[in-house]
Amino acid sequence: MELSFFNVKDGYLEALVRGLRSGFLSADEYRRLAQCESIDDMKLALEETDYGMFLQDEPSPIPSTVIGQKCREKLANEFRHLRSQANYPLSKFLDFLTVEKMIDNVVGLIQGTVNKKSPQDLLGRVDPLGWFPEMKAIASMDITSGYEEIYKTLLIDTPVGPYFESFLKQVTPADSESRSMQEVASIFNETDLELMKNMLKKAWLEDFNAFCETLGGSTAEVMGHILKTNSDFRVMSVTLNSLNTMLGSSQQLGDRNLLYPSLGYLYPEGTDRIRKAWNETTVRAALEPYKPYAALFDLCAPYYSKERSGVTDIKQLKSLEDLIYEKEVELCEFAFEQQFHYGVFYSWVKLREQEIRNIVWIADMISMGRKEHTEEIVPIFRPRY
Amino acid sequence: MASSEQRPVPSRMTLQTMKGKKVGASKGHSLLKKKSDALTVRFRQMLKTIVETKKAMGEEMKTAAFSLAKAEWAAGNFKGQVVESVRRPAITLKVTADNVAGVRLPIFTLQRNESLETVGNLGVASGGQVIMAAKESYFKALEALIRLASLQTAFFTLDEAIKITNRRVNALESVVIPRIEGDISHIITELDEQEREEFIRLKKVQAKKQERAAAAEADELGEAGGEGGAIFEDEDDDVVF
Amino acid sequence: MSKKPRFIGGSDLKVAVIGDEDTVVGFCLAGVGGRDAQGRSNFLIVDNKTRMSDIENAFREFCDRKDIGVILINQHIAEQIRYMVDTHEKVIPTVLEIPSKDKPYDASKDSVMSRVKVFFGGNIE
């Protein structure tokens, strides 16, 4: 049934996305980019690809950040084109994709506003994919009038309101139903914004997963796999990145554990085991029953071990992120192998993000004159033999 | 020019003070010369280190930039957050002084207050450790830079000090000492002159006295012989006719 | 040397940074960044939208501030305000020209290096 009706509503958009899939940079194009001598060369090389003339109005020299931002704008434009033609439930699915970026943006805006940055500056660096009209209100709100306004703006006006709500519930004692403005103020003041962001993202991930499950069919199947793997990666990432830091210390394990999403293949037993882990050995032990993750951990463990200071060839070591990117690309590529599900939209966005990362990396390496490193990217849809 | 404006009063006492001044000046000259040499030695040593550190710094910065790119790759766009989360600097400089031949050279030392670091949880879900690696490499670059900063301030201070010292040495050598020497020789010539004048004067006085004594003797003789002659002779001096 | 250097004693000094985004972010990451209650910071991010007068003002401000010991400035930015860097005579703060990520360090442009060069007979290689 699902298969036969999918095309009635979403067939056109799926076709579009599959068309966009062929717009990913090919191995040849990457090679051409890597051979560029300067950013201006690179701009010319990019003009021959699907990116086209998107950099032509930028005064040279173009910093790599601007290239990244422009790429993201292009992605956001294409995304919006899809979004405007989607109807429920695909529309909601696409909205979920933007929410992740919105969280980033909102947190960034709060931080910037607290520091009295000019709204134009702040709005200039937000991720265009997570753009929403109320952002302007956040950026220009008057911080001196107290946190009441932030509270209102965030909880009422933005699409991420529900996540903030759940975040506040988590950090305040359960019984205090009516939180005073003062309390909210102190929460915003005291909580590490980075932690807040990740708690919001965790809530988003859980919510997204729940939504995908309601969709059922192959969407639930494909997306379920992707999201579960992602949340497992998240668990590993949080764990590894907090090793040997304040957050990994025993006093703050509680804070760290709040960041673990309650889904994924690790959940609940594996997550529970990891919750108790505090150093490389214990983490390794906790991951032991989960072979793929344990293997992943072994690959990147040297990067995180305490003794790595003094090791000079740190550049040769791979961090967990390098590995996760590779896995994620693989995961997303597979999503294109099946038809009649929404996973392709998610995959397309993620792959484009990876491609942008690749481009920015190459641009960085070229401007630094370290072309030997331009190979260290994760190509998308690389030919398989 | 050494002695045009004001000549010291030529007297034995001024000569004595002048001689004292000369001794002082030459002593000062040799001391300053030594100081200038000491500074120059230190200066030359430093020049090499400055050039080396500058070059090393270039490398260090390259590594740091690379690791930052790596961090961006792993953690996405976190740069804005870094700048926004800045509060109080975790790194401050303590300034102490090193003493080279009486010139105080500032030395910067890094002080790192880990508790003030604000980026602790940055990128906890992605790339946190990579960011930390970037942080460390920038810290290393900063250490090199601070060493360079100390060298550079020392370079400027020494440069200035050497210039001043050399100026003083030269001033002593080519102005003060020649002037004192000129004064001394002037005094000596004056004194000699005075001595000769005195000698001539004494000679003159003696001659007069002898003359007078001779005249008196002649008078006595003349009184015995005839007075008129003597009177006539006397009148002969003033009366013209 | 007309006035006695004021670096003995006194409170700890800060490091100021004028540079492109990467340079500033890097050093803020290392922990040099500071911002006081008035929102006054000890760094300036220069991009191609930054006006020359902003750079000049920031440089002048950092030079005049009593709590700054070292000013790090990207070489290509120092180029833009070369006349100010060259005429900067105070011992503290001292100005250090540093390379930016996309422009390798060019010793011949550095005003300190050009002074050093004199002592090597015009050749520092």
> The pTM is what?
0.80
Write the secondary structure of chain A as one string of H (helix), E (strand) and C (coil): CHHHHHHHHHHHHHHHHHHHHCCCCCHHHHHHHHCCCCHHHHHHHHHCCCCCCCCCCCCCCCCHHHHHHHHHHHHHHHHHHHHHHCCCCHHHHHHHHHHHHHHHHHHHHHHHHHCCCCHHHHHHCCCHHHCCCCHHHHHHCCHHHCHHHHHHHHHHHCCCHHHHHHHHHHHCCCCCCCCCHHHHHHHHHHCCHHHHHHHHHHHHHHHHHHHHHHHCHHHHHHHHHHHHHHHHHHHHHHHHHHCCCHHHCHHHHHHHHHCCCCCCCCCCHHHHHHHCCCCHHHHHHHHCCCHHHHHHHHHHHHHHCHHHCCCCHHHHCCCHHHHHHHHHHHHHHHHCCCCCCCHHHHHHHHHHHHHHHHHHHHHHHHHHCCHHHCCCCCCCCCCCC
> Mean pLDDT across chain A, nearest whole number?
79
Q: Are strands B91-100 and B103-112 parallel, antiparallel or unpaired?
A: antiparallel
Say whether pLDDT at A299 is over 90.
Answer: no
Give the separation between CA B189 and CA A124, rounded to whole angstroms. Answer: 88
| A61 contact residues in C (CB cutoff 8 A) | 48, 102
The verdict on residue A91 lying in a domain is: no
The matching CATH number, chosen from 3.30.420.130, 3.40.50.10580, 3.90.180.10, 1.20.272.10, for C10-119 is: 3.40.50.10580
pLDDT given at position C94: 85
Provide long-range contacts, Cβ within 8 A and 24+ apart, for A76-79: A76/A127, A76/A128, A76/A129, A76/A131, A77/A128, A78/A20, A79/A129, A79/A349
The verdict on residue B154 lying in a domain is: yes
| B62 contact residues in A (CB cutoff 8 A) | 368, 370
Task: Give A4 or A262, the one with higher predicted confidence.
Answer: A262
**Averaged over C95-124, what is the pLDDT?**
73
pLDDT given at position A311: 44
From the CB of residue A300, how many other CB atoms can be counted at a distance below 10 Å? Answer: 19
pLDDT by residue (tens digit) across A228-245? 898 888 888 888 887 777
Nearest-CA residue of chain A relative to C45?
A: A121
Say whether pLDDT at A91 is over 60.
Answer: yes
Specify whether A56 is located in the same domain as A148: no
Inspect the interface and report whether the beta carbons of B65 and C113 lie closer than 8 Å: no
The verdict on residue B2 lying in a domain is: no
pLDDT given at position A303: 75
Say whether pLDDT at A310 is over 50.
Answer: no
**How many domains does chain B fold into?**
1
Which range of residues forms the domain containing residue A228? 218-341
Q: Which of A226, A240, A228, A209 is nearest to A351 (CA)?
A: A226
Specify whether A292 is located in the same domain as A254: yes
| B94 contact residues in C (CB cutoff 8 A) | 12-13
Give the separation between CA A375 and CA A329, rounded to whole angstroms. Answer: 16
Task: Give A317 or C88, the one with higher predicted confidence.
Answer: C88
The verdict on residue B86 lying in a domain is: yes
B91, B152, B159: residue with CB nearest C31: B91
From the CB of residue C3, how many other CB atoms can be counted at a distance below 10 Å? Answer: 6
pLDDT given at position A312: 45
Which range has the top average pLDDT, A155-164, B69-78, B213-222?
Answer: B213-222
% of chain A at pLDDT higher than 90: 2
**Averaged over A171-175, what is the pLDDT?**
56
pLDDT given at position B226: 54
Say whether pLDDT at A124 is over 90.
Answer: no
Say whether pLDDT at A41 is over 90.
Answer: no
The verdict on residue B149 lying in a domain is: yes
Specify whether A305 is located in the same domain as A365: no
The verdict on residue B195 lying in a domain is: no
List of chains touching A (3+ CB pairs within 8 A): B, C
Return the CA Rg of chain C.
15
Task: Give A227 or B123, the one with higher predicted confidence.
Answer: A227
Which range of residues forms the domain containing residue B87? 35-163
pLDDT given at position B209: 92
Give the separation between CA C72 and CA B39, rounded to whole angstroms. Answer: 27
Q: Is the ipTM value over 0.85, yes or no?
A: no
pLDDT band at A38 (very low <50, low <70, confident <90, very high): confident
- The CATH number of residue B95's host domain is 1.10.287.3240
Inspect the interface and report whether the beta carbons of C15 and B93 lie closer than 8 Å: yes
From C50's Cα to the closest Cα of chain B, the distance in A is: 17
pLDDT given at position A185: 60
The verdict on residue A175 lying in a domain is: yes
pLDDT by residue (tens digit) across B151-209? 888 888 888 888 888 898 888 888 888 888 888 888 889 889 989 999 999 999 999 99
Nearest-CA residue of chain A relative to B83?
A: A112
**Averaged over C64-76, what is the pLDDT?**
87
From B82's Cα to the closest Cα of chain C, the distance in A is: 6
**How many domains does chain A fold into?**
3
% of chain A at pLDDT higher than 70: 82
**Averaged over B126-149, what is the pLDDT?**
84
SS3 C8: coil
Instruction: Give one DSSP letter per residue of C35-78, joined into a string.
Output: B-TT--BSEEE--TTS-HHHHHHHHHHHHH-TTEEEEEEEHHHH
Give the separation between CA A154 and CA A162, rounded to whole angstroms. Answer: 9
A59, A116, A368: residue with CB nearest C101: A368
Which range has the top average pLDDT, A379-383, B66-70, B221-225, C8-12?
Answer: B66-70
pLDDT given at position C7: 46
Inspect the interface and report whether the beta carbons of B152 and C24 lie closer than 8 Å: no
The verdict on residue B183 lying in a domain is: no
**Averaged over A27-49, what is the pLDDT?**
86
Task: Give C95 or B5, the one with higher predicted confidence.
Answer: C95
Give the separation between CA A358 and CA C17, rounded to whole angstroms. Answer: 29
Task: Give B24 or A177, the one with higher predicted confidence.
Answer: B24
From the CB of residue A18, how many other CB atoms can be counted at a distance below 10 Å? Answer: 13
pLDDT given at position A181: 58
The verdict on residue A76 lying in a domain is: no
Task: Give B76 or A102, the one with higher predicted confidence.
Answer: A102
Say whether pLDDT at A321 is over 90.
Answer: no
Say whether pLDDT at A177 is over 60.
Answer: no
Q: Integer distance in angstroms from the first to the last C-alpha of chain A?
A: 35
pLDDT given at position C97: 85
The domain segmentation of chain C, as residue ranges, is: 10-119
pLDDT given at position C40: 78
| B69 contact residues in C (CB cutoff 8 A) | 22, 101
pLDDT given at position C1: 39
Give the separation between CA B124 and CA A239, rounded to whole angstroms. Answer: 8
Buried b (16+ CB within 10 A) or exposed e, A31-52: ebbbebeebeebbebbeebbbe
A100 neighbors A201 (Cβ within 8 angstroms): yes
Task: Give A94 or A306, the one with higher predicted confidence.
Answer: A94
C66 neighbors C92 (Cβ within 8 angstroms): no
> Mean pLDDT across chain B, nearest whole number?
81
Q: Does A115 touch chain C (CB under 8 A)?
A: yes
Task: Give A146 or A323, the one with higher predicted confidence.
Answer: A323
**Averaged over A211-223, what is the pLDDT?**
86
The verdict on residue A375 lying in a domain is: yes
CA dihedral C21, C23, C29, C35 (to 10 degrees): -70
Give the separation between CA B237 and CA B204, rounded to whole angstroms. Answer: 20
B104 pairs with which residues across the strands?
B99
pLDDT by residue (tens digit) across B12-31? 888 888 889 889 989 989 99
| B149 contact residues in C (CB cutoff 8 A) | 69-70, 94, 96
| C35 contact residues in A (CB cutoff 8 A) | 115
pLDDT given at position A144: 58
pLDDT by residue (tens digit) across A322-354? 888 888 888 888 888 888 888 889 999 999 989
Rounded to the nearest 10 degrees, the angle between the axes of helix A217-242 and helix A280-287 is: 160
SS3 C26: helix
Among A297-311, B138-152, B204-218, C37-51, whose mean pLDDT is lowest?
A297-311
pLDDT by residue (tens digit) across C18-33? 988 888 888 888 888 8
Say whether pLDDT at A95 is over 60.
Answer: yes
The verdict on residue A79 lying in a domain is: no
Specify whether A127 is located in the same domain as A191: yes
Which of residues 98 through 127 in chain A touch B, CB cutoff 8 A?
108, 111-112, 114-115, 117, 125, 127
Specify whether A289 is located in the same domain as A362: no
